Amino acid sequence: MLEDAKRLFAANTPAIDPVEESHGFDSNRWCSWSMKKTSAEFTGVPVNIFLLVEDYPKKKKNTHTETWIITTDLSLEFEEAREAAHLRWQIENNEFKRLSHHTGTKTFYFKDPRPFFSMLRLFCLALAVFDAFFTILHRNEAASKALMQGCKFTWKSAFSQMWWYYQDAFEYLVTAGI
């Protein structure tokens, strides 16, 4: 499918259906971009295929990136498909790496994958709860400052501070006989 799209994008002939193109500049990411789009069918399902080319003039590495975006949502425009791809990469690059780092999932070995996926679901649920908690906490500046006690917010420092609160609460419950 991608090989067909590559050939179609490379061919500049009026005999073939015209390829849709768009380009622009992203002031948030500070890059110029161009995209080509075509439609195809994969296992009987219609898909849109985009070729995204981004140029980052201020980066020292990876100044020119080319990315393929394939979607079954045929209503997506160029900018929407590009933004959806960036959001997906943000989840993959930031959230999954954070999950792996904080839970040590690369050190667990199971013969049967079902218990691992159950544990992974619990970790994802726990991180979602912590994300919601910290999002709410950041809206209350006084509570946030009290929790962080002057530390810069990072996940490590936040969990460290919460650990101290947990220990204090645990000691209180033990001494109170609860």
pLDDT at position 161 is 72
* Amino acid 75: pLDDT: 93
Largest Cα separation within the chain, whole Å, is 84
Q: Which of 43, 74, 105 is the last residue of a domain?
A: 74
* Whether residue 69 is found in the same domain as residue 124: no
Mean pLDDT of the chain: 81
Asked if residue 135 belongs to a domain, the reply is yes
Q: pLDDT grade, residue 92 (50/70/90)?
A: confident
Is residue 82 one of the residues assigned to a domain? no
| CA 48/CA 106 separation, integer angstroms | 35
> Do the domain assignments include residue 124?
yes
Q: What is the mean pLDDT of residues 112-125?
A: 86
Q: Which of 56, 74, 92 is the last residue of a domain?
A: 74
pLDDT band for 140, please (50, 70, 90 cuts): confident
Looking at the 3D structure of the chain, how many domains does it have? 2
Which residue range(s) make up the domain with 58?
Answer: 2-74
